[in-house]
Amino acid sequence: MTERRDRSLLDPSILRPALVQSLVKLDPRVQVRNPVMFVVELGAVVTTAIWIGQATGISANDGGAGAGGGNGAQPAWFAFVVALWLWLTVVFANVAEALAEGRGKAQADALRAMRTETSARMRDGSEKAAADLRPGDVVVVEAGDVIPGDGTVVEGIASVDESAITGESAPVIREAGGDRSAVTGGTRVLSDRILVEITQEPGGSFLDRMIALVEGAARRKTPNEVALGILLAGLSIVFLIVVVTLRPFVTFSGSTVSATTLIALLVALIPTTIGALLSAIGIAGMDRLVRRNVLALSGRAVEASGDVDVLLLDKTGTITLGNRQATAFLAMPGVGIDDLAAAARLASLSDETPEGRSIVVLAEEQHGLADAPYPDGTMEFVPFTAQTRMSGVDVEALDGAVRSLRKGAGDALVRWVEDAGGAVPDDLRSTLDHVSGEGGTPLAVAEGDRVLGVIYLKDVVKPGMRERFDRLRAMGIRTIMVTGDNRLTAAKIGEEAGVDDVLAEATPERKLDLIKEQQAGGRLVAMTGDGTNDAPALAQADVGVAMNTGTQAAREAGNMVDLDSNPTKLIEIVEVGKQLLITRGALTTFSIANDIAKYFAILPAIFAGVWLANPGDGEGPLAKLNIMDLGTPESAIISAIVFNAVVIPLLVPIALRGVQYRPVGANALLRRNMLVYGLGGIVAPFIGIKLIDLVVHGLLGA
Amino acid sequence: MAWVQLALLLAVVIAITPLLGGYMAKVFAGDRVVLSPVLGPLERTLLRLIRVRRDEDGPIGQDWKAYAKSVLLFSLGSWLVLYLLLRLQGSLPANETDLGAAPWDVSFNTVSSFVTNTNWQYYAGETTLSNLSQMVGLTVQNFVSAAVGIVVLIAVVRGIAARSTDPADRRAGSLGNFWVDLVRAVVYVLLPISIVGALVFVTQGALQTLGGPTELANVTGGTQTLFRGPVASQEAIKLLGTNGGGFFNVNSAMPFENPTAFANFFSMVLVLAIPAALTSTYGRMVGNRRQGWAVFGAMALMFVVLAVVITVAEQHGSPAQHAAGLVTSSGDGTTGGNLVGKEQRFGIGGSGLFNTVTTATSTGAVNSSMESLTGLGGLVPMIGMGTSEVIFGGVGSGLYGMLLFIILAVFIGGLMVGRTPELHGKKIEAREIKLAMLGALYMPFTVLVTTALAVGTDHGKVSNYNGGPQGFSESFYAYLSQGNNNGSAFAGYTGYVQPNGDPDGSFGITFADLLGGLAMLFNRFFPILVVLAIAGSLARKKAAPAGPGTLRTDSPTFVVLLIGVIVLVGALTFFPAFLLGPVVQSLTGHLY
C-alpha cells in the first residue's frame, strides 16, 4: 500500500482540509478538552474585547497606563497585535492536530470507498443486505464476489485479494480449518467458492474499526496522556496565580500593568508548545504504526509497547526460516563424501518438501553435482509414508541391476538395512546422536544393505536476527523464543539466534503460564500469534500482535493486527511506542524550559516602571534586566508571544515524525534529550525572541 | 575562612549521613540498636501508655488513611493543649515574670506555628511566654512536631519500597504504625541527640537554668533586666528538629543561645544532621544506597550554590553601601563587606552560612539580621524557601517534599527515555501526578495569594512598617517563611504590637495572625496528606525490575534533571517576586 506511506505534510489534499479544520476547531466546546489551549483562547477573546473597547473609545485603557507602565496610555494597536497572535496560537495548535488527523482521514476515505453496499447470498439461496448480517450467519462467496463481512471460512478453499486492506497485491489462500481461516469483509474472492460464517456484529467489522482508527474518531486519551495533561493543567493553574498576583505586586511597587500585558505573560508562561502538540503527537504515533501496516486497536497498546520488557517470539517462521535445511553430509567410514552426496541427491530428487529440495541444493552447490547427469535407466520414486518414514528412489539400470537409495529417520533406515541383510556401522549411532545433540535433525542415507552416511538438517536462523536481538537488548527488552522442539534443540537454536531465553516443548498452556509468570514479576510482555490456540496468550499479553493471516479468534484477542503478518514487526512497534513517549517528554521539557527566556523578555518590560528612584524617571532599576536589549516594552511582549506562537508550527514536523530513538540505554538517551530539548529549550527562545524583536522593533517600529 | 568553614561543614555532614541514616533505618525497622538497652524501657512504657493496638506480629499496621488520620488527630490534640496552655499561662506555675496570656489571635498564630514545626514568632519569647509555656508547651512541640515530620517521611518511603502486593497479605498497603514510629523518633533519635547537644552548648557557655530574670547594672549606670531560663536544652532541639524558635527574640544571635563560633558551627551540624541522614535512610529502605546519595547530591549541590552566593554577596556589600563609601573589603571574610546586623564572633562567613543552613532547611533560626542582608544576599534565604524547602529541608518534610519533585522529574525523564515513568519500579500514573502536582504547587500557590493579600489590601499593609522594595521583601518573606514552615523572618512585618515591651497594652493584628496561622497549618498538613496518599497508592503497585531501558534515578544525569525540575517547576513561580524585592536592591543604590 504505497500510497499509504510517505505523504508530505504540505500535500494540498491534506493541508487544505487541515486549514479549514483549524478554524472549525476554534469552537470552545472543542478547546475545553485541552485546558492549556482553552486558556489561550480565553485570553484571545478577552484581549480582542479590550482592543475593541480601546478602538471604539468605550474604554481608554484596560487598567494599565501602559505596557511598561508609568509612561502614557497603551496604544490600541498593542492589544490588537496581542489578540491577533493569541488567536494565531490557537489556530496553529489546531492546524497541527488537523494535519495529524489529515493523513488518517485520507486513508479512511479510501477505505470507506471500499465498503460497497453488497448483498450477501445465504447458504439457503436467499439474499440479505450485508449490513444486516449477524454473527452466526453463513454466506456463500464465489469467485468475483466481495466478502460481505468478517468471518471464518467453514468450508472450501479460495484465493482472496486482500490488497485493499494490506496493500499486498499477491492473492492469499483462505481455507476452512487451520490458521488461515479468517476472511475480512470488503476483500474479494478471486477463485473457487467458500462458505463463510460471519463473526462480526453489524457495523463492527474490521473495516469499520480500521476506518475509525485511522480517522481518530475512536481516539481516547491514553493513560499517559491523561497524566501529562494533569501536569500541564497544574502548571497552567499555578502560572495563572503568578499572573493574577502580579498586579498587586506591581501596584505595591509603584507602577501599573495592563490586562493585555498580563494575559500575554500568562500565555507565554503556560506550556502552550506541548499543549498545542500533545494530541498531534498521539495521533501521529498511531499513524506511524498504520504506515508500517500495523493497526493498533487502542492508543493504550501503542503506549504499552514502549514499555515492553519481554518479547515472546515463535521460533518457526519468526526466528528461523521455518523449514529445516540440509547443511552437511556426514559420511560413514569407507564411504566417499561425494558418493554420499550423489546418493542423497538422487534419493531426494522427487522430494518436493523444503527439506528435500535443500538436500538437492546442498549436493549440487557444495559437491559439484549441479550438472551431474541422471543415471541411465528408469527411476522409480518411493514416496514418504508415515509407516516407512523414509523416501527414496529405485534405479533400474539398463542392465537390469537395481540400486535402491533411501533416506529417512535413523531407526527406520537401520531396520531397512538390517532387513536387507546388511550390517550397520558402529559410527552411525554416534553420528546420529551428535547431530541431534547439536540441535539438528539427522537423516540417514542407505543404498541397499549399506549405510552411506547422515544428512545434517538444521533449523536455519534468519539472517540479521542476532543484530535485532542485540538491538532489543540495548532497548532493555529480553527475548524469549517459544518452540515445540525439545530442550536440547531449542537451547542450541536459541543460542545461535542470540535470544535471552527459550521456552521448549511449548504448549498453549505453557505459553500462557510463561506470560503470567513474567507479568507477576512486574514485566510487560509482548507477543505475536496467528493460530486460534494463540488467542488466550494474545489476550493475556500486554501487547498482543495478531497476524492478519491468522484466525479470526487470534485477531479478536490481540490489541494490534499486523497486516503484513511479519512477526518481527514487534521490534518496530516497540520503537514507535518509545518514540511516542520520548516526543512527548522532549517537547514538554522544551516547553517548560522556554519560560526562563520568556520571563527575561516580558518581566523587564512590565517592571521597567517599578521602583522609580524619582517620579519623573523613565525607567527603574529593573530595566537593567532587559539583557536581550529588546527595543521597547511593547515590542518585547509581542516578540515573546510571537515566538510562543511560531514555535508550534516549527515543531510540528518533530511532533509528527517523532523524536529520533536510538537504543543506547536509558541514561545516554536521557542525557542527549536533556541537552537537546532542555538546554536547547533554555537557549533557543533567547535567540528567537531577539530575532523577532529585531523585526518587530527594528523594521516595524513597535 | 568562609570557604574552609563551608568545606568542613560539608565534610562533617557527609560523615554523619550514613551513620545516622543507618541508625534511623534500624530504629524504624524496629531492630535493636545501640541505645536499646538504655531506652528500651522508656519506649515500652510510652507504647503501653498510648495503648497501641497489637496482634501476634506486633503493632497493627495502618494504611495511608489510618496513618494520616493519626497524624491529624495527634496534631489537633497538640494544638488544643498548647492553645489552652498559652491562654492560661497567667494562672499556671513557673511564671517568674508574671506574664499574662498573649491575645487570642497571636496565640492562634503561635500555636499553629509550633505544631507545624514552623516556629514563626510574632511574639518575643522572653517578654511573652512563661518558663512553663516555653518548656512544657513549646519545647515539647519542638520534639513531637519534628517527630511527625520524620515519621511521615518514613511511612512514605515504606509505601514506595513496599514489595508485597498480595491481597491475602494483611500487611499489604500498610505504611507502619504512626504511634510506634512517633515514640521511636522521639525516644531513639531526637531525645538522645538533643541531650548530648544541650551539653555541648553548655560547655560553650549557653545558659541552662530555671532561675528567673535578674537585674544587672549596665555601663551607663542604669539597670537592665536580664532574662534567663533553660536555654541550652531548647537550643539543641530547636536546631536538631529544624524548629528554629529561640528562647530569646534575637534567636541564635544572642550570646546566651549561641555563645561562640564553635557553637555556631555545631548548630549548623545539628540542623543538617537529620535531614541529610534521612537521604541515607531512604536509600537503605528502598535497597539502593546510591539512591540516597543521589538525592543528597542534588541537595548539597544547590546548598553550596546558595552558600557561595550569600557569602560573596555579603562580602561585596550592597550598591547603597558602595555609593556611601562604606564597604572596605579585606577579602578574608571577617572584616569589610556588609557587617550590618551581623555578630562579630561569626563574621560574614559564619553568618551567611548559618542563614543558608537555616533557611534551606525549614529551621528558621537566625544568628544575624536577615533584613540587613544585601539584596542578593537576601535573595538566598528566599530561594531556599522558594524551592519548597527541599534543599535538605525540614526533618522529614524536606525529603518528602523532595520526593514530590522526584516523582515529577521521573515523569518527565521517564518520557524522555521512552517508557511510561516509574519510580523504584512502580508506575507513576495519573493519580500520582495529580497528587504530586497538588503537593508541589500548593505552596507557591498559597504563598503568592497570601503575599498578594499582604501587599494589596489595607488589612495586610498595616503589618508592614516599611515601604519600597524592602517593604515588599518583608511582606513576601513573612508568607514565604510561614507558608514553608520555616519560621525565620525578614523583620518589619508583624502580627503583634507590644507598645510597652510586655503584654500590657499589647494587641494582635488579627488579619496577619490568622492568615499566617492558616498558611502554616494548611501548608504543613496538606502536603502530608498528599504524600501519604501517594505512598498509599504506590504501596499497592507491582514493582517492575530495573533493566537497561529503565530510567535510573541514582545517576548524576538524574540529579541534574531533578534540580532542573525544582528550579523550573518550583522556584520559577517566584521569579517576579524575587525581582521586585531583593533583586531591585542589588541593582540600585537608591534608598526608597
Residue B333 has pLDDT above 50, yes or no: no
Read off the pLDDT of each residue in B29-51 and give the average, rounded to a whole number: 92
pLDDT tens-digit series, residues A93-119: 999 988 888 877 777 777 777 666 677
Residue B331 has pLDDT above 60, yes or no: no
Q: How many CA atoms lie within 13 A of A377 on its CB side?
A: 15
Average pLDDT of chain A is: 85
Grid cell 498558611 in the structure block, residue? B519
Reading the block at residue B335, the C-alpha cell is 572584616
Nearest to B430 among A226, A250, A592 (CB): A226
Q: How far is B255 from chain A (nearest CA, A)?
A: 38
Catalytic residue among A62, A208, A314, A485: A314
Q: Measure the CA–CA gap between A240 and A670, rounded to whole angstroms.
A: 30
Q: Which residues of B526-558 are buried (b: 16+ CB within 10 A; e: fewer)?
A: ebbbbbbbbbbbbbbbebbebbebbbbbbbebb
pLDDT tens-digit series, residues B125-162: 777 888 788 888 888 999 999 999 999 999 999 999 98
Grid cell 555532614 in the structure block, residue? B13
Say if the Cβ atoms of A596 and B572 lie within 8 Å: yes
Q: Is residue B321 part of a domain?
A: yes
Nearest to A622 among B555, B561, B579 (CB): B579
Nearest to A245 among B408, B449, B572 (CB): B449
Pick among B411, B412, B461, B563 to test the A interface (most A CBs inside 10 A): B412
Q: Is residue B68 part of a domain?
A: yes
Say if the Cβ atoms of B416 and A239 lie within 8 Å: no
Contact call for residues A87 and A643 (beta carbons, < 8 A): no
| More confident call, A2 vs B171 | B171
Local structure of A534: helix, strand or coil: helix
Least confident range from A425-439, A592-606, B342-356: namely A425-439
Say if the Cβ atoms of B412 and A585 lie within 8 Å: yes
Residue B18 has pLDDT above 50, yes or no: yes
Residue A2 has pLDDT above 50, yes or no: no
Q: Measure the CA–CA gap between B427 and B422, rounded to whole angstroms.
A: 4
Give A62's pLDDT tier (boundaries 50, 70, 90).
low
Q: How far is B448 from chain A (nearest CA, A)?
A: 6
Contact call for residues B48 and B62 (beta carbons, < 8 A): no
Pick among A225, A239, A243, A245 to test the B interface (most B CBs inside 10 A): A245
According to the per-residue pLDDT averaged within each range, which of A532-536, A570-574, B552-556 is highest?
Answer: B552-556
Local structure of B506: helix, strand or coil: coil
Q: How far is B65 from chain A (nearest CA, A)?
A: 23
Indicate the length of chain A as a whole number.
702
Task: Identify whether A530 is a catalytic site residue.
Answer: no
Q: Is residue B162 part of a domain?
A: yes
Per-residue model confidence (pLDDT) at position A3: 41
Read off the pLDDT of each residue in A409-438 and give the average, rounded to a whole number: 86
Per-residue model confidence (pLDDT) at position A68: 40
- A24 to chain B, any CB pair closer than 8 A? The answer is no
Residue B215 has pLDDT above 90, yes or no: no
According to the per-residue pLDDT averaged within each range, which of A289-293, A484-488, A635-639, B490-494 is highest?
Answer: A635-639
Read off the pLDDT of each residue in B276-295 and give the average, rounded to a whole number: 96
Q: Measure the CA–CA gap between A24 and A581, rounded to whole angstroms.
A: 28
Residue A1 has pLDDT above 90, yes or no: no
Q: Which residues of B344-355 are buried (b: 16+ CB within 10 A; e: fewer)?
A: ebbbbbbbbbbb
Per-residue model confidence (pLDDT) at position A142: 87
Per-residue model confidence (pLDDT) at position B530: 97
Least confident range from A30-34, A461-465, B519-523: namely A461-465
pLDDT tens-digit series, residues B390-414: 999 999 999 999 999 999 999 999 9
Q: Is A423 exposed, middle or buried (0-12, 13-18, 19+ CB in 10 A)?
A: exposed
| More confident call, A399 vs B445 | B445
- SS3 annotation, B150-214: HHHHHHHHHHHHCCCCCCCCCCCCCCCCHHHHHHHHHHHHHHHHHHHHHHHHHHCCCCCCCCCCE
Q: Is residue B265 part of a domain?
A: no
Q: Measure the CA–CA gap between A634 and A627, rounded to whole angstroms.
A: 16
* Percentage of chain A modeled with pLDDT above 90: 28
Residues of B in contact with A234 (CB under 8 A): 434, 437-438, 441
* H helices, E strands: number in chain B: 23, 8
Q: How far is B241 from chain A (nearest CA, A)?
A: 31
Per-residue model confidence (pLDDT) at position A217: 60
Q: Measure the CA–CA gap between B185 and B143, rounded to whole angstroms.
A: 9
Q: Is residue B99 part of a domain?
A: yes
Residues of B in contact with A669 (CB under 8 A): 416-418
Give B230's pLDDT tier (boundaries 50, 70, 90).
confident
Residue B317 has pLDDT above 70, yes or no: yes
Read off the pLDDT of each residue in A343-370 and give the average, rounded to a whole number: 84
Domain total for chain B?
1
Pick among A230, A236, A246 to test the B interface (most B CBs inside 10 A): A230
Q: Measure the CA–CA gap between B310 and B337, rounded to whole angstroms.
A: 12
Grid cell 500520582 in the structure block, residue? B432
Give B34's pLDDT tier (boundaries 50, 70, 90).
very high
Say if the Cβ atoms of A522 and B542 lie within 8 Å: yes
Residue B46 has pLDDT above 60, yes or no: yes
- Assess: ipTM above 0.95: no
Q: Is residue B272 part of a domain?
A: no
Read off the pLDDT of each residue in A25-50 and give the average, rounded to a whole number: 92
Say if the Cβ atoms of B418 and A667 lie within 8 Å: no
Q: How far is A673 from chain B (nearest CA, A)?
A: 7
By DSSP bridging, strand A501-503 and strand A478-482 are: parallel
| More confident call, A632 vs B331 | A632
Say if the Cβ atoms of B418 and A577 lie within 8 Å: yes
**Which residue of chain A is at minimal alpha-carbon distance from B554?**
A667
Per-residue model confidence (pLDDT) at position A115: 65
Say if the Cβ atoms of A238 and B564 lie within 8 Å: no
In sequence order, what DSSP letters do the residues of B391-426 get, joined into one string? SS-STTHHHHHHHHHHHHHHHHHHHHTTS--EETTE
pLDDT tens-digit series, residues A112-136: 776 666 778 888 888 888 778 888 8
Query: Chain A to chain B, count of Cβ pairs less than 8 Å apart?
Result: 211
pLDDT tens-digit series, residues B446-484: 999 999 999 999 998 888 888 889 999 999 999 999 999
Average pLDDT of chain B is: 90
Grid cell 487544505 in the structure block, residue? A16
Residues of B in contact with A237 (CB under 8 A): 441, 445
Contact call for residues A304 and A543 (beta carbons, < 8 A): yes
Say if the Cβ atoms of B583 and A473 lie within 8 Å: no
- A226 to chain B, any CB pair closer than 8 A? The answer is yes
The amino acid that residue A420 corresponds to is A
Nearest to A231 among B437, B445, B547 (CB): B437
Residues of A in contact with B425 (CB under 8 A): 522
Q: Which domain covers residue B377, as residue numbers?
A: 60-176+290-586
Per-residue model confidence (pLDDT) at position A65: 43
Q: Which residues of A612-632 are buried (b: 16+ CB within 10 A; e: fewer)?
A: beeeeeebbbbbebbebebbb
Per-residue model confidence (pLDDT) at position B438: 94
Say if the Cβ atoms of A476 and B592 lie within 8 Å: no
Read off the pLDDT of each residue in A664-686 and give the average, rounded to a whole number: 93
Per-residue model confidence (pLDDT) at position B227: 81
- A239 to chain B, any CB pair closer than 8 A? The answer is yes
Nearest to A252 among B472, B568, B588 (CB): B472
Give A150's pLDDT tier (boundaries 50, 70, 90).
confident
Nearest to B437 among A234, A241, A670 (CB): A234
Torsion angle in degrees (nearest 10) through CA of A651, A654, A656, A658: -150
pLDDT tens-digit series, residues A200-259: 888 777 777 777 776 766 667 888 889 999 999 999 999 999 999 999 999 999 999 999
Read off the pLDDT of each residue in B241-247 and give the average, rounded to a whole number: 88
Say if the Cβ atoms of B420 and A303 lie within 8 Å: yes
Contact call for residues B585 and B375 (beta carbons, < 8 A): yes
Residues of A in contact with B552 (CB under 8 A): 666-667
Residues 624-653 of A with CB under 8 A from B: 624-625
Per-residue model confidence (pLDDT) at position A69: 41
Say if the Cβ atoms of A607 and B580 lie within 8 Å: yes
Per-residue model confidence (pLDDT) at position A611: 92
Say if the Cβ atoms of A245 and B451 lie within 8 Å: yes
Per-residue model confidence (pLDDT) at position B293: 97
Q: Is residue B50 part of a domain?
A: no
Read off the pLDDT of each residue in B238-252 and give the average, rounded to a whole number: 89
Reading the block at residue B248, the C-alpha cell is 530569646
Q: Is residue B331 part of a domain?
A: yes
Nearest to A666 among B472, B552, B577 (CB): B552
